[in-house]
Amino acid sequence: MSRLNGVARAALDGLLDVGRLREMGPELALTDVQQLGGIGPFYASLIVIRASGFVDVLPTQEPRLRALVGQLYGLDPAPTAGELTELAEAWRPMRSWAAVLIRAAAPRVLAGKTDGQAW
Protein backbone atom coordinates (compact mmCIF):
# COMPACT_ATOMS: atom_id res chain seq x y z
CA MET A 1 0.00 0.00 0.00
CA SER A 2 2.88 2.37 0.71
CA ARG A 3 4.19 1.91 -2.86
CA LEU A 4 0.80 2.70 -4.31
CA ASN A 5 0.55 5.77 -2.12
CA GLY A 6 4.03 6.82 -3.25
CA VAL A 7 3.09 6.56 -6.91
CA ALA A 8 -0.14 8.46 -6.26
CA ARG A 9 1.82 11.17 -4.44
CA ALA A 10 4.27 11.41 -7.35
CA ALA A 11 1.36 11.83 -9.76
CA LEU A 12 -0.21 14.54 -7.59
CA ASP A 13 3.16 16.29 -7.38
CA GLY A 14 3.42 16.34 -11.17
CA LEU A 15 6.29 13.86 -11.43
CA LEU A 16 4.27 11.71 -13.85
CA ASP A 17 3.01 14.65 -15.91
CA VAL A 18 3.00 13.81 -19.62
CA GLY A 19 4.63 17.09 -20.61
CA ARG A 20 7.39 16.63 -18.05
CA LEU A 21 8.14 13.10 -19.25
CA ARG A 22 8.13 14.13 -22.92
CA GLU A 23 10.51 17.01 -22.24
CA MET A 24 12.95 14.61 -20.57
CA GLY A 25 13.06 12.27 -23.52
CA PRO A 26 12.59 8.51 -23.23
CA GLU A 27 15.91 7.50 -21.65
CA LEU A 28 15.90 10.10 -18.88
CA ALA A 29 12.18 9.59 -18.26
CA LEU A 30 12.74 5.82 -17.81
CA THR A 31 15.46 6.46 -15.26
CA ASP A 32 13.41 9.10 -13.46
CA VAL A 33 10.26 6.99 -13.14
CA GLN A 34 12.27 4.10 -11.70
CA GLN A 35 13.15 6.30 -8.74
CA LEU A 36 9.60 5.78 -7.50
CA GLY A 37 9.32 2.96 -4.98
CA GLY A 38 7.91 -0.21 -6.48
CA ILE A 39 8.45 0.82 -10.11
CA GLY A 40 10.98 -1.38 -11.85
CA PRO A 41 12.28 -1.35 -15.41
CA PHE A 42 9.29 -2.93 -17.11
CA TYR A 43 6.61 -0.86 -15.40
CA ALA A 44 8.71 2.27 -15.86
CA SER A 45 8.74 1.58 -19.57
CA LEU A 46 4.96 1.05 -19.58
CA ILE A 47 4.43 4.35 -17.78
CA VAL A 48 6.78 6.26 -20.04
CA ILE A 49 5.56 4.68 -23.27
CA ARG A 50 1.86 4.81 -22.55
CA ALA A 51 1.79 8.13 -20.72
CA SER A 52 4.04 10.02 -23.09
CA GLY A 53 3.35 8.43 -26.45
CA PHE A 54 6.98 7.54 -27.16
CA VAL A 55 6.88 4.61 -29.58
CA ASP A 56 10.57 3.86 -29.94
CA VAL A 57 11.61 3.04 -26.38
CA LEU A 58 13.31 -0.28 -25.75
CA PRO A 59 13.11 -1.58 -22.15
CA THR A 60 16.58 -3.17 -22.18
CA GLN A 61 16.66 -3.73 -18.42
CA GLU A 62 13.49 -5.82 -18.39
CA PRO A 63 14.64 -9.41 -17.76
CA ARG A 64 11.48 -11.13 -18.99
CA LEU A 65 11.71 -9.37 -22.35
CA ARG A 66 15.38 -10.34 -22.69
CA ALA A 67 14.57 -13.95 -21.79
CA LEU A 68 11.75 -14.16 -24.34
CA VAL A 69 13.86 -12.55 -27.07
CA GLY A 70 16.59 -15.05 -26.25
CA GLN A 71 14.20 -17.95 -26.66
CA LEU A 72 12.71 -16.56 -29.88
CA TYR A 73 16.15 -15.93 -31.38
CA GLY A 74 17.61 -19.20 -30.10
CA LEU A 75 20.17 -17.47 -27.87
CA ASP A 76 21.64 -19.04 -24.77
CA PRO A 77 22.04 -17.26 -22.48
CA ALA A 78 19.48 -14.52 -22.99
CA PRO A 79 20.86 -11.36 -24.58
CA THR A 80 22.43 -8.66 -22.47
CA ALA A 81 20.96 -5.17 -22.58
CA GLY A 82 23.54 -4.24 -25.21
CA GLU A 83 22.85 -7.32 -27.32
CA LEU A 84 19.12 -6.67 -27.12
CA THR A 85 19.72 -3.11 -28.29
CA GLU A 86 21.62 -4.43 -31.32
CA LEU A 87 18.92 -6.98 -32.17
CA ALA A 88 16.17 -4.41 -31.79
CA GLU A 89 17.66 -2.03 -34.35
CA ALA A 90 15.59 -3.91 -36.92
CA TRP A 91 12.45 -3.07 -34.97
CA ARG A 92 12.87 0.72 -35.30
CA PRO A 93 10.87 2.95 -35.18
CA MET A 94 8.41 0.82 -33.20
CA ARG A 95 10.63 -0.85 -30.60
CA SER A 96 8.17 -0.09 -27.79
CA TRP A 97 5.36 -1.93 -29.49
CA ALA A 98 7.64 -4.76 -30.62
CA ALA A 99 8.57 -5.28 -26.96
CA VAL A 100 4.89 -5.27 -25.95
CA LEU A 101 4.08 -7.78 -28.70
CA ILE A 102 6.94 -10.06 -27.67
CA ARG A 103 5.83 -10.05 -24.04
CA ALA A 104 2.22 -10.72 -25.02
CA ALA A 105 2.64 -13.26 -27.81
CA ALA A 106 5.99 -15.00 -27.29
CA PRO A 107 4.74 -17.45 -24.65
CA ARG A 108 2.07 -18.67 -27.08
CA VAL A 109 4.50 -18.79 -29.99
CA LEU A 110 7.07 -20.65 -27.95
CA ALA A 111 4.46 -23.10 -26.66
CA GLY A 112 3.80 -24.11 -30.27
CA LYS A 113 7.44 -24.83 -31.09
CA THR A 114 8.14 -28.46 -31.83
CA ASP A 115 11.47 -28.52 -33.60
CA GLY A 116 13.68 -26.77 -31.04
CA GLN A 117 14.61 -24.09 -33.56
CA ALA A 118 14.44 -20.33 -33.09
CA TRP A 119 11.54 -18.61 -34.81
The per-residue pLDDT for range 9-35, each reduced to its tens digit, is: 999 999 999 999 999 998 899 999 999
**pLDDT at residue 63 above 60?**
yes
Radius of gyration of the chain (CA): 16
- Its sign, for the CA torsion 101, 105, 107, 113, is negative
Residue range 86-113: mean pLDDT, rounded: 92
Residue range 42-68: mean pLDDT, rounded: 87
Cα-to-chain-centroid distance, residue 25: 15
Domain boundaries, the chain: 2-52, 63-111
pTM for the full predicted model: 0.72
**pLDDT at residue 114 above 80?**
no
Element (H, E) at 111: helix 95-111
pLDDT, position 115: 57
Cα-to-chain-centroid distance, residue 52: 14
